[in-house]
Each structure stands twice: as structure tokens, then as C-alpha cells.
Structure 1
Amino acid sequence: MNVLITGSNGLLGQHLIPLFLKDSKYNVIATGRGPNRIPQRDNYVYEPSNLRTPGAAASLIEKYKPEIIIHTAAMTQVDECEKNKDACWDMNVGVTRYLVQAAEKSNAFFLFVSTDFIFDGLSGPYSEEALPNPINYYGTSKVAAERIVQNSKLQWAIARTVLVYGTVHDAQRSNMITWVKNNLQQNKKIKVVDDQLRTPTLCQDLALGCKLIVDKKATGVFNISGNETLTPYDMALKTANYFNLDTSLIEKISSKSLAQPAARPAKTGLITEKAEKELGYNPRTFAEGLEIVAEELSGK
């Protein structure tokens, strides 16, 4: 069974590929911008493609005829989306529309990866039935993309997630854990907000949740995240303590003091009971996630 993974150079894409390669019933076709950034090159096809180009998605789907499409590619830098709204819309909405239109011709199963930032953060954590009300342009673009998927003729699923962390084969990229660790190891002070609540998600858990959806061809919306509610400041402290770093270098601040271009929802997080019950999804705790990340970092 051919499975097409978009955004394969990203954090999630890099964890999806080896996971699907372990299952002999899948043939993996990966696509991303530019050259393949994953060291493992065997047993799958990598096709560089700019999916924002009209016709690129249709050409890719016509060539490989995937029965399953996992669409992870997105513009996710929240402030960049706010400053470059046209680019954000083209990537997050336009590409989704191109892929859905092409997938409808081949009747592929379509899994779209979305975000907790579709919510306003006034009443989190959220269930799958909660109504979206984004407060920034990134969230607005993801709601629009979700609606394209939901209104399609396809068998579809949406996996919503939160604050994904893990390791990536690209030294230029970082996430919450690596950012905290790298700065504190250099004795640099960092400022971390303590007025936002999230359910941080280990990337391996998100990848596995996506695979569970695909294996079952489960349709509808699923929350695939951690189930432990933490602030970024909590995460930073736990990271520092795990790696025996100086917690006095971490300054607790309010998000209002950052003056970021895009507003952030105060309290999001997702309730994962549906995925646990219907898919057998079982997310790791943040402490368990830290152990996994540390093991991966030590092996690099």
C-alpha cells in the first residue's frame, strides 16, 4: 500500500518515515522542499517538490498513486505567519486544497495534521467537539485547511496536536527541549513564559498516533497529544533538572512582555480520551519523553 508523506523533512515527517518502514504492508513515498535531510535513504522514495506550485500535488499523486496521504507540510512559525499572511495561506490552505483535489481523483485516504492553535485558549483543554475560534493567522489558516478536508469527498481524518518536541536530523532546527538544554549548557539566561498551558507532545507519540489512524483508516477528528498539562516554564524547569543544568538561569515571564506579532492562546491542551479509547493511543509523560530525547541526543 503506497503512503505519501508530505513535509518529510520536518520533525514529524522524520519520525513517520522509519515508523512506516517497519511495517511491510506500506511503501513509503516522502516529499519535501529541497534535498532529503534524513540520513536513512533505503527502502523508500524521496521526491523533492514545492507543493505550492500549481500542478505539483496532482503530478505527485498521479505518479505514485498513493492509497494514503499524510499531510504534515505546513508553515508553523506563528509569528512568521502573522507577518507573511499570503505565504501562510498559500502553504497551509492552498497546498491542502491542491492535495485534496488530487486525492479525490484517486480516492486516497487523507490524514491532515492540525493544531491546538485553532482555539482561543479561553476554556482548554479541548475535546474534538470544541468549536474552533483562532486568535492568530496561523490558527485561522489551519481552520480553513481543516474545513477543506472535512468538506471533501474523501475518507478523511484530522490529527490535532500540541507543542511537539523531539529530535531532528537538522542542526539548524530546535524545539523547546533542545533550546533550553543548549542555552543553559552555555550558561545563557533564558526567559520562559509561565502564563500559557499546553499538553506537550513527544514526536514519536504523534507519529504513532498518525499510524494508528492510518492502520484503522479511522475517520473524523482525533486529538493526538500529550495528556499532561504544563506551562513552557514547567517544561524548561523539568528539562534543566533532567540534564542537571542551572535552573537559576531560567527567568519566569509573562507572555505580554514578549510583544510577539501573533497572539497566543492562554490555555489550550487537548483531551486525548477518544484516541485512547478508539485507537489504543497511549501518550508518554513529559518525563518519559525527556528520557527518549536525551537518549537520541546522546546517540548523535
Structure 2
Amino acid sequence: MKVLITGSNGLLGQHLIPVFLEDSRYEVIATGRGPNRLPVQTGYTYEATNLRDATSVQHLLDKHKPDVLIHAAAMTQVDDCERNKDACWDTNVSATRYLVHAAEKHGTFFIFLSTDFVFDGLEGPYSEEATVNPISYYGSSKVAAEHMVRNSKLPWAIVRTVLVYGVAADPKRSNIITWVKSNLEQGKKLKVVDDQWRTPTLVQDLAAGCKLVADKKASGTFHISGNETLTPYQMAVQTAGYFKLNTQLLEKVDAKSFTQPAKRPARTGFIIDKAVQELGYKPHNFAEGLEIVAKEI
């Protein structure tokens, strides 16, 4: 069975590849922008592809004819999406349309990665049945792409997730744990938001959740995230405590104290009962995730 993974150079992609390589039932094809930047470069096929070009996408799908496609490639920096709406739409919506159209020819099972930012954050945590109402351009682009997937002729699943953290091969990529650790080690004070709530997701858990969806070809929408609702400040305090760093350097602030191009939903987070019951999904709590990330660092 062939699985094609887009965005393979990204944080999720880097963790999806080894998960599927461990299962001999799968032949893995990875695609990303530019050269392959994964630490492990053997055991799978890598294709550099511009997903914003319909012809390139059609050629990729016609060449490999995947049974499963996991579309993890996206423009996810919320403020960048707000500043450059054309690039956001091309990357998040047009590329999805090209992939869906190309996959329809082969009857591929299509797994689309989405986000908690499809919600307005007024009534979180959210179940899969909650009404979407994005308040940022990034969120709107993901709603549009979800709609495209749902209305395709393909068997499909939408996997929404929240605030993914973990270690990427690229040392320039930071996450809340490495950001807090490196700044506090340098004795820098940090202002951290305490009026936004999320269910932070360990990237290994998200990768495992995607694999469960692929294995079962489970159709529909699934919320796959951590199982604890925390603010960024609470995450920062736990991180500082784990590394025995000075929590006095952490200052609790409101989101309105920052000037950012894109609005953030105040309270999201997910109810993950469906994924637990239908897929057998078992996420780590933040303390466990912190320990896993610390070992990788």
C-alpha cells in the first residue's frame, strides 16, 4: 500500500515518515519543497514538488498512484498568512484543490490536516460537530480547504489539531519548550500569554493519530490533540520547572498586550473522545510530552 506524505520537511512530516517506515505494509513517498531535509534519507522515495503548480501535482500523483495521501503541507504562520493572503490561499487552498483533483483519478484515501483556528475561540474546547467560525485569514483558508475535501469524490478524513510541539531536524525551528528553555538559560525575561487556552499536541501523538486514521481508512472529521487544557504561561511554568530554571523570569500577560496582525481565538482546545473511542488514540499529557522533547533536545 502506497502512502504519499506532503510537507515531509515540516515538523509533522519528519515524524510521519518513520512511523510509516516501521510498518512493512506501506511503501512511503515523501514530497516537500526543495531538497530532502529529513535526517533519515533511505527506505522511501522523495520527490521535490511545487504543490502550487497543478501540472506538477498531477504528474506526482500519476507517477505514484498512492492508496493514501496525507496532506500535511501548509502555510501555518498565522501572522504571515494575514500579511500575505495570496501566498496563504495558494498554499493552503489552491494546492489542496490540485491534490484533490489529481487524487480523484486514482481513488486515493485523502487525509487533510487542519487546525483549531477554524473556530472563533468563544466556546472551546470543541467537538468535531462544533460550527466553524474562523477569525483569521489562516483559519479561513483552512475552512475553505476542508470544504473542498468534504465535497470531493474521494474517501476522506479531516484531522484537526492544536498547538503542535516537538523537535524538528532544523535547529532554527523553535517550539514553546525550546523557546522557554533557551531564553531562561540566558537569564532573559519572558512575557507569556495567560488568557488563551489550548490542548497542546506532542508531534509524535499527532503522527500516531494520522497513522491510525490511515490504517483504518477512518472517514470523517477527527480532533487529534493533547488531553489537557493549558495556557502558554502554564506550559512555560511547567517547562521552567522541568529544566530547573528561574520561573521568576516568566511574566504573565494578556494577549492584548501584544500587537499582532492576526487575531487568535481565546479558548480552543479539543474534545478528543471520538478519536479515543473510534481510533484507539492515546495522547501523552504535557508533562510526559515535555520529558520526551527534553530527551530529544
Map of 1:240 onto structure 2: 240
Q: What is the rounded CA distance, in whole Å, between the counterparts of 2:255 and 2:66 in structure 1? A: 43
* Alpha-carbon displacement from aligned partner over 1:222-242 (angstroms, at most 9, x marks no partner): 000001000000000000100
Whole-angstrom distance in 2 between the partners of 1:129 and 1:225: 16
The secondary structure found in structure 2 opposite 1:152 is: coil
Indicate the SS of the match to 2:54: coil
Distance 1:55 1:258 in 2: 42
Q: 2:177 & 2:55 partners in 1: Cα distance? A: 38
Q: Does 1:202 align with 2:202?
A: yes
Unaligned runs of 5+ in 1: none
Counterpart residue number, 2:174: 174
Match of 1:34 in 2: 34
Match for 2:156: what amino acid? W
Where does residue 220 of structure 2 map in the other structure?
220
Please name the residue that 2:21 is paired with.
21
How far apart, in 1, do the equivalents of 2:200 and 2:182 lie? 19
Does residue 70 (structure 1) correspond to residue 38 (structure 2)? The answer is no
Q: Secondary structure at the match of 1:172?
A: coil
Length-normalised TM-score, structure 2: 0.99
Q: Deviations for 1:44-78, whole angstroms, at most 9, x for unmatched residues?
A: 01111111122111111011111110000000000
Residue identity opposite 1:231 in structure 2? T
Amino acid at match of 1:238: Q
Deviating more after overlay: 117-126 vs 52-61 = 52-61
Deviates more, 1:275-284 or 1:181-190: 181-190
Counterpart in 1 of 2:286? 286
Helix, strand or coil: the match of 2:289?
helix
Deviations 1:113-137 (A, max 9, x none): 0000000000000000001000000
Counterpart residue number, 2:81: 81
* Residues 11-39 of structure 1: per-residue CA shift (max 9 Å, x gap): 10000000000000001000001111111
The alpha carbon displacement at 1:105 in A equals 0.5
Moved more, 43-52 or 272-281: 43-52
Residue in 1 that maps onto 2:267 = 267
Q: What is the number of residues matched between the two proteins?
A: 297
* Equivalent position of 2:185 in the other structure: 185
**Does residue 91 in structure 1 map to residue 96 in structure 2?**
no
SS of 2:105's partner is helix
Q: Which runs of 5+ in 2 are unaligned?
A: none
Mapped partners of 2:178, 2:11: distance in 1: 13
Cα separation, 1, equivalents of 2:81 and 2:224:
23
> Partners in 2 of 1:34 and 1:176 — Cα distance?
27
Corresponding residue for residue 12 of structure 1:
12
The Cα RMSD (Å) is 0.6
Q: 1:281 offset after TM fit, Å?
A: 0.2
Match of 2:47 in 1: 47
User: Residue 83 of structure 1: CA displacement?
Assistant: 0.5
**Residue 55 of structure 1 aligns to a residue in which SS?**
helix
CA distance in 2, matches of 1:273, 1:54: 37
Cα distance in 1 between the residues matched to 2:246 and 2:63? 53
**Could you state the TM-score of these two structures normalised by the residue count of structure 1?**
0.98
Is 1:137 paired with 2:137? yes
Shift of 1:42: 1.0
Q: Percent identity?
A: 69
2:112 corresponds in structure 1 to 112
